[in-house]
């Protein structure tokens, strides 16, 4: 929590004066929007007119006032006498003077970071309580005063905002950002930041607010090159989808890793996933060693001059003479291109000039003095084009992978010294499809296919990528994301203890290496603001088994929350449904988390009891991605879909079944750890089977 503070009664009319300032800010925002709407899009030509009109439309849309929220949530008073009201957007008066300062501006740092020990020039920090768009309370921290008593150290307004009941998707945290979070949000744009965050530490919010800050501080470059947010599944993306628009940032792409490599029309190497495969095969296809196998498969297409060229040499007829570049020289040109580290298609585009240059060397040796125009003419000649086609034929990514998974001899040649015979047997299709077009690709295939496509043609890079739940991605998936920030930085978020895939990472250095960001800066967040102490302390009993290298997180919320562990002799599902029904009388969202295999029975039991609930696995595509909408009240959540979500009250049914639903105990306990830490207010564990040993 921040520096000491106390809520102050409005006995001096402070709140009334602040409300008048809020009313003025709303009026100025309306004026700004009306001014934007009154402008004429006159760019000088139709294309410029359309671009300017679109920009004006976006500007007007960003100035719409939301009457359910306040335009500012805090204020700082400075030694100079300056007073700044801090809010979600910048509002100015007709003269251009600030009425509300955007939280992302440099002058707003004091609101988040100033303390009695290091106050800068901030004398006072004021927080506002807000209900339905009206100011209801204020709380002052006089940073020049001696530290008050221990009983005044908690900010009640801040605590209420953090503990406010959840309903619907995730909301922004601009009013509650903590100093350590703010430092990560405002980290240098060129720095890749990796955040190891325990449950409830706000790591996801930090990543999203960092994206918003970067777009504010470096708008031109980031808007031009793009910002990408990558999440674990569509349910998660829907959950966080409202945060950036609420901060005024709507042009941010959000996708899952599967989306990146399967999006229709997105480019070469992207396919539709139509099949699944055993975990062991998917894990092998996600192994980083496949990148080398793929590289060899792509470059195996380069022909041997001795075999593909007539007479083993390149011959160019010109006038009455025939100029001959010997095969060994052509081989040297091919080897030089392959050793440069360029993509296959780039090397293929360079080869005509290399061949033409070799011919011009023959011209010069014969006494001619050709210029660049002659070299260009030779490079464009039909003979050179025909030779390039023979030496470096055009390739299709799907056909390359189809051959790799169908042709045992080709796979053996490409994986020699990389894979063993058993692994090659695991990769090969038992019944190869007749063609790449008829193949039933899996999600793991799609990722490998993206690697093939990148070996052929470089994947376009974004200015910045925010990657959440990074610990769950395979090395090949991490490479797929890394390609999309190869010329930019990344914000990498996750928790090693919440790794619940068979290929989940064991260290952040491993993750950063596969992303291509080995120099990324690691920060640890272990102060929990979302999960109450009763819940996090209970779940943390599992850490010595699932992630012994991590420190135990601590909750800093004043309210310890509630934990109930209910052991039943009979029907645990019936008891869990009864608990959910009872919780409906209280405010806030409810999540019933069950083992995947119990989802159908739980849905039937809820319906029979008349409890309205929405299943988060109601609609899945072939890739296993969540496609339904998040409910606003009761959610029935299979354990494998709960990651990244949060509910006011969580009921976990049969922890032993959640553990048993995973391929090994360690992964199962990690899945349980995730499920137990989704509660913001209260957690109820219902079980008839014995609990895992650490929870007894």
Under DSSP, is residue 179 helix (H, G, I), strand (E, B) or coil? helix
Measured CA to CA, the distance from residue 505 to residue 475 in angstroms comes to: 9
- Tell me the per-residue pLDDT of 297-310, one tens digit each, with 9 for 90 and over: 999 999 999 999 98
- Tell me the per-residue pLDDT of 629-687, one tens digit each, with 9 for 90 and over: 445 689 999 999 898 788 999 999 999 999 999 988 999 999 999 999 999 999 999 99
Nearest to 692, CA basis, from 569, 670, 488: 670
Under DSSP, is residue 29 helix (H, G, I), strand (E, B) or coil? helix
43 or 382, greater pLDDT:
382
As given in the structure block, the two tokens for residue 589 are: 């969202």
**How are beta strands 6-8 and 134-142 bridged, if at all?**
antiparallel
Element (H, E) at 85: strand 83-87
Buried b (16+ CB within 10 A) or exposed e, 628-667: eebbeebbbbbbbbbbbbbbbbbbbbbbbbbbebbeeebb
What is the widest separation between alpha-carbon atoms in the chain?
104
589 alpha-carbon distance from chain centroid: 25
Element (H, E) at 679: strand 679-687
User: Region 79-94: what's the mean pLDDT?
Assistant: 95
* Res 268: pLDDT: 56
Q: Is the pLDDT of residue 149 over 80?
A: no
* Res 634: pLDDT: 94
Q: Could you tell me the pLDDT band of residue 479, with boundaries at 50, 70 and 90?
A: very high
Measured CA to CA, the distance from residue 537 to residue 552 in angstroms comes to: 8
* Res 12: pLDDT: 66
- Tell me the per-residue pLDDT of 504-555, one tens digit each, with 9 for 90 and over: 998 999 999 999 999 999 999 988 888 899 999 999 999 999 999 898 888 8
* Angle of helix 344-365 versus helix 443-456 axis, rounded to 10: 20
* Res 266: pLDDT: 41
Query: Average per-residue pLDDT in the chain?
Result: 89
As given in the structure block, the two tokens for residue 541 are: 């009993």
* Res 657: pLDDT: 98
- Tell me the per-residue pLDDT of 673-696, one tens digit each, with 9 for 90 and over: 999 999 999 999 999 999 999 999
Q: Is the pLDDT of residue 628 over 80?
A: no
Number of neighbouring beta carbons within 10 Å of residue 60: 17
Nearest to 534, CA basis, from 497, 566, 579, 564: 564
Q: Is the pLDDT of residue 556 over 90?
A: no
DSSP string, 180-244: HHHHHHTS-TT--EEEEE-TTS-HHHHHHHHHHHHHHHTHHHHHHH-EEEEESSHHHHHHHTTHH
Q: Is the pLDDT of residue 626 over 70?
A: no
* Res 1: pLDDT: 41
User: Region 600-606: what's the mean pLDDT?
Assistant: 97
Q: Is the pLDDT of residue 220 over 50?
A: yes
Q: How many CA atoms lie within 13 A of 365 on its CB side?
A: 9
Burial of 526 (0-12, 13-18, 19+ CB in 10 A): middle
Q: Could you tell me the pLDDT band of residue 97, with boundaries at 50, 70 and 90?
A: very high
Q: Could you tell me the pLDDT band of residue 405, with boundaries at 50, 70 and 90?
A: very high
Measured CA to CA, the distance from residue 408 to residue 417 in angstroms comes to: 15
* Res 552: pLDDT: 87
Q: Are 565 and 679 in contact (CB under 8 A)?
A: no
Measured CA to CA, the distance from residue 59 to residue 252 in angstroms comes to: 16
* Res 85: pLDDT: 98
User: Region 354-370: what's the mean pLDDT?
Assistant: 91
Q: Could you tell me the pLDDT band of residue 11, with boundaries at 50, 70 and 90?
A: low
Nearest to 449, CA basis, from 410, 408, 483: 483
Q: Is the pLDDT of residue 127 over 70?
A: yes
Cα–Cα distances (Å) from 319 to 316, 322, 666, in that order, read: 10, 8, 75
Measured CA to CA, the distance from residue 86 to residue 99 in angstroms comes to: 9
260 alpha-carbon distance from chain centroid: 11
As given in the structure block, the two tokens for residue 22 are: 């809020």
Residues listed for the chain: 696
User: Region 70-85: what's the mean pLDDT?
Assistant: 95
Q: Are 403 and 429 in contact (CB under 8 A)?
A: no
Q: Is the pLDDT of residue 618 over 70?
A: no
Q: Which of 160-169, 206-215, 407-416, 455-464 has the lowest mean pLDDT?
A: 160-169
Q: Which of 12-21, 239-248, 383-392, 569-578 has the lowest mean pLDDT?
A: 239-248
Q: Could you tell me the pLDDT band of residue 5, with boundaries at 50, 70 and 90?
A: very low
């Amino acid at each position: 929590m921040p520096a000491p503070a106390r809520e102050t009664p409005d006995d001096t009319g402070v709140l009334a004066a602040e409300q008048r300032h809020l009313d003025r800010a709303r009026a100025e925002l309306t004026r700004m929007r009306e001014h934007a709407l009154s402008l004429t899009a006159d760019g000088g030509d139709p294309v410029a007119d359309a671009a300017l009109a679109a920009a004006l439309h976006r500007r007007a849309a960003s100035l719409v006032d939301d009457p359910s929220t306040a335009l500012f949530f805090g204020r700082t008073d400075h030694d100079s006498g300056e007073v700044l009201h801090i809010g979600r957007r910048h509002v100015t008066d007709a003269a251009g003077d600030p009425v509300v300062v955007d939280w992302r501006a440099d002058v707003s740092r004091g609101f988040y970071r100033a303390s009695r020990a290091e106050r800068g020039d901030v004398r006072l920090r004021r927080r506002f309580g807000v209900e339905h768009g009206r100011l209801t309370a204020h709380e002052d921290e006089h940073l020049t005063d001696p530290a008050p008593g221990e009983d005044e150290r908690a900010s009640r307004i801040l605590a209420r905002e953090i503990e406010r009941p959840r309903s619907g998707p995730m909301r922004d945290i601009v009013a509650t950002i903590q100093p350590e979070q703010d430092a990560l949000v405002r980290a240098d744009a060129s720095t890749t930041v990796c955040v190891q965050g325990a449950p409830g530490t706000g790591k996801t919010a930090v990543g999203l607010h960092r994206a918003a800050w970067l777009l504010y501080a470096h708008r031109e470059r980031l808007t031009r090159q793009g910002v990408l947010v990558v999440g674990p599944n569509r349910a998660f993306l829907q959950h966080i989808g409202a945060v950036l628009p609420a901060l005024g940032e709507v042009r941010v792409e959000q996708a899952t890793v599967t989306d990146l490599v399967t999006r229709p029309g997105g480019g070469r190497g992207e396919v539709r996933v139509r099949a699944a495969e055993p975990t062991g095969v998917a894990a092998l296809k996600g192994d980083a060693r496949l990148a080398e196998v793929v590289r060899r498969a792509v470059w195996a297409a380069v022909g041997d001059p001795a075999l593909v060229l007539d007479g083993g040499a390149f011959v160019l007829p010109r006038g009455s003479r025939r100029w001959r570049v010997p095969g060994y020289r052509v081989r040297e040109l091919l080897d030089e291109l392959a050793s440069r580290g360029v993509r296959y298609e780039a090397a293929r585009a360079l080869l005509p000039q290399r061949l033409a240059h070799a011919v011009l060397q023959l011209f010069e040796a014969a006494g001619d003095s050709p210029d660049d125009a002659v070299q260009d003419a030779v490079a464009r000649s039909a003979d050179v084009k025909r030779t390039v086609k023979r030496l470096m034929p055009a390739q299709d990514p799907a056909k390359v992978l189809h051959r790799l998974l169908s042709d045992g001899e080709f796979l053996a040649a490409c994986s020699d010294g990389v894979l063993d015979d058993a692994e090659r047997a695991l990769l090969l299709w038992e019944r190869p499809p007749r063609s790449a077009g008829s193949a039933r690709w899996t999600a793991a295939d799609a990722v490998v296919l993206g690697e093939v496509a990148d070996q052929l043609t470089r994947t376009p890079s974004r200015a910045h990528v925010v990657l959440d739940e990074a610990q769950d991605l395979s090395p090949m998936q991490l490479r797929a994301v890394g390609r999309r920030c190869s010329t930019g930085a990344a914000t990498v978020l996750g928790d090693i203890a919440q790794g619940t895939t068979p290929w989940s990472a064991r260290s952040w250095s491993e993750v950063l290496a596969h992303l291509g960001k080995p120099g990324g800066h690691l920060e640890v967040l272990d102060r929990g603001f979302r999960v109450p102490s009763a819940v996090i302390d209970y779940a943390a009993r599992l850490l010595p088994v699932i992630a012994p290298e991590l420190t135990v997180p601590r909750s800093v919320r004043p309210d310890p929350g509630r934990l109930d562990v209910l052991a039943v002799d009979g029907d645990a599902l019936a008891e869990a449904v009864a608990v959910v029904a009872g919780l409906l009388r209280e405010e806030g969202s409810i999540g019933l988390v069950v083992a995947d295999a119990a989802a159908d029975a739980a849905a039937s039991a809820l319906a029979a009891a008349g409890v309205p609930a929405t299943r988060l696995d109601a609609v899945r595509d072939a890739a296993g991605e969540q496609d339904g909408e998040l409910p606003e009240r009761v959610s029935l959540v299979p354990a494998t879909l709960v990651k990244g979500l949060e509910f006011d009250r969580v009921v976990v049914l049969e922890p032993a079944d959640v553990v048993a639903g995973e391929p090994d105990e360690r992964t199962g306990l990690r899945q349980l750890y995730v499920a137990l830490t989704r509660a913001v207010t209260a957690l109820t564990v219902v079980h008839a089977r014995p609990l895992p040993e650490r929870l007894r």
